[in-house]
Amino acid sequence: MNKLFKEIDTLQQEINALRPLKTEELPLIKNYYTIGLTYSSNALEGNSLTETETKIVLEEGITIGGKPLRDHLEAIGHEDALAFLYTCVDKKTVEEKDILQLHRLFYYRIDEKNAGIYRSVKAYITGSKYPLPIPENIPALMHNFILLLPELYKTKHPVEYAALAHMHFVFIHPFVDGNGRTARLLMNLILLQSGYNIAIIPPVMRHAYIASLEKAHHDPTDFITLIGQMVKETQKDYLRLFA
């Protein structure tokens, strides 16, 4: 794993050498990753919009014929949550209110009552053998989760820190829906706060992603490695844009 982290750090140095970006380049790059991350994160959860359709919905505000309304709302909500995420990068810390706001912005068009609110009902993950926490325990678990983040920041490589934060959050599963997307937003916020690029997990990696998360209940190595590989691939894609 250390070898992977060194490769990531080397690539990040190459990316940093390209900075600062030209004024006209910055919005183009931001838009490129907004569409890519929105498409991929939603597709991992079963959203039917293609990347091109996601681009049309976000840039032109046009609905796609034959596609569910919810799929459109998820795309718009994820874009809003990502825009808020960028406002949190400079403060270098993650607060509970930030996580609640990320979820609220993503989810309020779909279910306003439960947007940004911890679940009050039991939840289950199909195919997982590990039970999720009961609703009564979620506030305390989230409080402890927030307290854990500074310790991970101090003791782990930033990519491992981001992966572990994602993992612990998903294990708590604090919301009625949208936990995976909120976890990936949180992970990418941590990466950006640490000076790294975001990580896009393409839908083709869905099985490996879910399997490594399930295994992470007793050994997080595979999940951390997978996230590291996704960071690396996204870095290489970024560098290709400037080749």
Please identify which of the residues 72, 157, 168, 173 carries the catalytic annotation: 173
The model's pLDDT over 217-239, given as tens digits with 9 standing for 90+, comes to 999 999 999 999 999 999 999 99
- pLDDT single digits (tens) 78-116: 999 999 999 999 998 999 999 999 999 999 999 999 999
CATH superfamily for domain 22-238: Fido-like domain (1.10.3290.10)
Known catalytic membership, residue 157: no
Q: Is the CB of residue 8 less than 8 Å from the CB of residue 231?
A: yes
Q: And the tokens for 142?
A: 């989230």
- Contact call for residues 89 and 189 (beta carbons, < 8 A): yes
pTM of the full predicted structure? 0.97
Compute the distance between CA of residue 3 and CA of residue 221 in angstroms, rounded to an integer: 14
